[in-house]
Amino acid sequence: MALIRPHPLRPTADSTDIAIRDLAVIGDRRTAAVLTRDGTILWYCPGRFDRPSLLAGLLDPNGGAWRIDLPGATPAGRGYLEESGVLETWLRVGVSEWAVTDWMPAGADAPSGLICRLFSAAPCEARVSLKPCPDYARAAPGLVRLDDSVRIGGGGHHLYASHQMVVEGEAVVFTLPEGETGWAVLSDAALEVPPARLDLDRWLEVTLAHWSELAALFDYEGPYKREVAASLRAIRLLSHEASGGIVAAATTSLPEVPGGSRNWDYRYAWLRDAGMIVSALTRLGGDLAEAGRYLDFICSSRGSSSKYPMAILTTLDGEAAPTEEILDLAGFDHSRPVRIGNNAGDQLQLDGFANVLLAAKLLYQRTDHRPHWDAVEEVAEFLVRHWREPDHGIWEEEGTCHYTANKVIVACALASVAEFSDDASQARRWRAIVGEIRDFVSGNCLTKEGAYAAVAGREAVDVSAALFPAWGYTEAGAPEMRATIAALERDHSWNGLLYWRHLECADARFEGTFLAGVFWVAQYWVLQGDLERARRILDAGLGYANDLGLFAEEADPREEGGGRMLGNIPQSFVHAAFIGAVIDLKHALARLQASVTAKQKE
């Protein structure tokens, strides 16, 4: 097993004071668990990403956790095995180190619904304790000691371990004596045969093989190879293998503003995010089927809304996401409310539908077929009818406006799919609408400085405009784009490297810089031909990935000591934005090299 070991890590604080960059994720492409640097599992929703949690210590110190207590231990490093989602964590005691290997079995030959933990020989006596708090800590654990396991509550979860377990109040505990190895398995249901160490070894082997097969689907060679591999892993950790859906993040209610109320549930699939991910993976090359499955999922959600072709965000069943519910939990970093569900599903977000069309275009360009054309056609006709309406924008704001970026992406989407229509009159009609949108933008969506306004008739700009050249709406060097980037640098940047978004309903300066936007600006400079500047911005954004290459939604550069992550993690939207920028950089470098080679031959 090849493992690149990072530098030693700083000690982890108590779970009530965990930083978002401390978090790691393991998963089986059904659901995920979230761990800290010291091997504590603080978040786990059995069965599926968006189902009720069994462990919610991430959002409340009394919300449940699976801890490892090793006297005097400090975190010594961690890393994923190869390109898998199997995590190895090292703890140091004096001059000795202790390894904990955590994973969720995955693959056709592996059992599902398990978290497995392997412990190397303990340097001193270690105590492993599981305190389950079912249903977001709203239900009693109901622990029952059986002959070979401990049953948890009415959900049928069972804990198995290598050493004798005892129930202490609401926790299950076992002790690992000095010098002994051990293991533990948390299962969604009772296993027919209690597991043994050989079973865990076999499940680990099968899981690593499964992840290796997934990694082989995209054989990327180019700049930032290791970082691209980490982003692909993150996207796969957020993928639901059974349906093909991808959740926006594995967590809920990690704050965009520390101590504030902008805390959202991201354990659902958004049209916008899925469209951007399909686009990134399609442009990356490799196996088209994996990217195509995400489009399959998007189109399978038709009928999930009574107002739109499909709901703007859905569960992994392709159904409309549940409305928000507030939980009585303390909140991460005292940030409340803690939400489950999401109310944005009923919003009109034109860019979400447009991203579906852009993703379809990229797939159609690589195949002789046009899968889901009926759904694509329905979405296009919806945009033709509704593009003139104000919507909630790319940032899902509370009120509606005429957001420039959403008009622009609709124009680009309709122009793109018009190329694939067999109906000449339909294609002409779609292209006529593109012309109308362009007239609207040029007549209503420029500031007094000639920049693209965030909202028609207003003077602020937004980082989403950096995507206009990538979408094919305009050239990177167009006067409007130069004016827009200049305004972003002046009004929305941190040292010209990190960028805040613009919000109409709140002051975005209280948030962190928006990492997807950082990579969009890097992509702009690639298209503008300033590759050195693009690299500086890419590197600045990468500075806010954690040691495992995971991005949260935002980064706050103002915190002393280098800044902190904000928002839910890992954020598939950000990882897709990073991949998109790197792909364009790779192509630009190839063109530059070809030009140099041609001149040398002259």
Q: Which pLDDT band holds residue 88 (cuts at 50, 70, 90)?
A: very high
Mean pLDDT calculated for residue range 444-450: 98
Query: pTM for the whole thing?
Result: 0.95
pLDDT tens for 208-263 read 999 999 999 998 999 999 999 999 999 999 999 999 999 999 999 999 999 999 99
| pLDDT at res. 560 | 64
Task: Write down how long the chain is.
Answer: 602
Mean pLDDT calculated for residue range 479-484: 98
| pLDDT at res. 534 | 98
| pLDDT at res. 290 | 77
CATH 1.50.10.10 in the chain: give the residue spans.
217-601
Quick check: 7 pLDDT over 70? no
484 CB-side CA count, 13 A: 30
Tokens standing for 33?
């668990």
Quick check: 2 pLDDT over 80? no
Mean pLDDT (the chain) is 94
| pLDDT at res. 562 | 64
Using DSSP, how many helices (H) and how many strands (E) does the chain show?
Answer: 14, 24
Helix (H/G/I), strand (E/B), else coil: 17: helix
Q: Rounded to an integer, what distance in angstroms lies between the CA atom of residue 40 and that of residue 20?
A: 14
Q: Which pLDDT band holds residue 367 (cuts at 50, 70, 90)?
A: confident
| pLDDT at res. 384 | 98
Residue 101 dihedral angles phi and psi, to the nearest 5°: -110, 120
Quick check: 355 pLDDT over 70? yes
Question: Mind spelling out the 3-state secondary structure of 537-585?
Answer: HHHHHHCCCCCCCCCCCEEECCCCCCCEEECCCCCHHHHHHHHHHHHHH
| pLDDT at res. 561 | 60
Q: Which residue bears the tokens 């898998």?
A: 84
| pLDDT at res. 153 | 84
pLDDT tens for 416-442 read 999 999 999 999 999 999 999 999 999
Quick check: 285 pLDDT over 90? no
Q: Rounded to an integer, what distance in angstroms lies between the CA atom of residue 220 and that of residue 225?
A: 7
Identity of the residue numbered 410: V
| pLDDT at res. 595 | 86
Q: Which residues of 94-117 are buried (b: 16+ CB within 10 A; e: fewer)?
A: eeeebbbbbbbbbbeebbbbbbbb
Mean pLDDT calculated for residue range 458-485: 98
Tokens standing for 153?
């509550």
CATH topology of domain 217-601: Glycosyltransferase (1.50.10)
| pLDDT at res. 288 | 79
Q: Rounded to an integer, what distance in angstroms lies between the CA atom of residue 339 and that of residue 471?
A: 34
Mean pLDDT calculated for residue range 2-8: 34
Q: Which helix (H) or strand (E) holds 198?
A: helix 197-215
Please say whether the beta carbons of 324 and 343 come within 8 A: yes
Please say whether the beta carbons of 131 and 171 come within 8 A: yes
Question: Mind spelling out the 3-state secondary structure of 103-168?
Answer: ECCCCCCCCCCEEEEEECCCCCCEEEEEECCHHHHCCCCCCEECCCCEEEHHHCEEEEECCCCEEE
| pLDDT at res. 526 | 98
Domain 15-196 in CATH 3.30.360.10? The answer is: no
- Lowest mean pLDDT across 45-59, 148-162, 287-301, 402-416: 287-301
463 CB-side CA count, 13 A: 28
Please say whether the beta carbons of 316 and 45 come within 8 A: no
pLDDT tens for 163-208 read 999 999 999 999 999 999 999 999 999 999 999 999 999 999 999 9
| pLDDT at res. 558 | 87
pLDDT tens for 261-276 read 999 999 999 999 988 9
| pLDDT at res. 592 | 93
| pLDDT at res. 13 | 37
Question: Mind spelling out the 3-state secondary structure of 323-336?
Answer: CCEEECCCCHHHCC
Percentage of the chain exceeding pLDDT 70: 97
